[in-house]
């Protein structure tokens, strides 16, 4: 029940609404579970950090699945190869190709580029295939 109550903060549409809901949940839990409420007070900024990003990116940021998948791929290849002959052998080009193909699953350059503060950052022109 507590998990569902805390989960209401993650269902909010905006960063401000999520933080307001998080504090409201902590305040309502404080009389019965003051240690949990104190933990929530201290963890609020870390737990809700992903809410500061565009909504399209939030589902990709709230999980560590991409990192875990990459680490698993590195482990799998390391066990097969045993050693790497040079630094270039460590680069996982196939992983990059997989992410490029699965545009709906990972953040794309097109959706990340507008987040840059640098006005010189622009996307390369798209060529017709």
Q: What is the pLDDT of residues 59-79, one digit of tens each?
A: 777 677 777 888 888 777 777
Please give the average per-residue pLDDT across 15-40, as a whole number. 94
* pLDDT of 53 strictly over 80: yes
What is the DSSP code string of 34-93? HHHHHHHHHHHHHHTGGGGS-HHHHHHHS--HHHHHHHHHHHHHHHHHSS-SSGGGG--H
Provide the number of structural domains found in the chain: 2
- For residues 46 and 65, membership in a common domain is answered with no
Model pTM? 0.53
Q: How far apart are CA 85 and CA 100, in angstroms?
A: 27
Residue 125 lies in a domain: no
- For residues 35 and 7, membership in a common domain is answered with yes
- For residues 65 and 38, membership in a common domain is answered with no
């Amino acid at each position: 029940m507590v998990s569902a109550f805390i989960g209401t903060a993650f269902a909010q549409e905006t960063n401000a609404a999520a933080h307001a809901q998080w504090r409201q949940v902590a305040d309502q839990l404080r009389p019965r579970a003051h240690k949990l409420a104190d933990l929530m007070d201290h963890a609020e900024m870390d737990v809700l950090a992903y809410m500061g990003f565009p909504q399209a990116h939030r589902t990709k940021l709230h999980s560590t699945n991409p990192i875990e998948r990459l680490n698993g791929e590195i482990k799998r290849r390391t066990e097969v190869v045993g050693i790497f002959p040079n630094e270039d052998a460590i680069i996982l080009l196939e992983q990059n190709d997989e992410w490029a193909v699965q545009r709906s699953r990972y953040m794309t350059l097109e959706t990340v580029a507008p987040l840059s503060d640098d006005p010189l950052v622009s996307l390369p022109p798209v060529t017709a295939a």
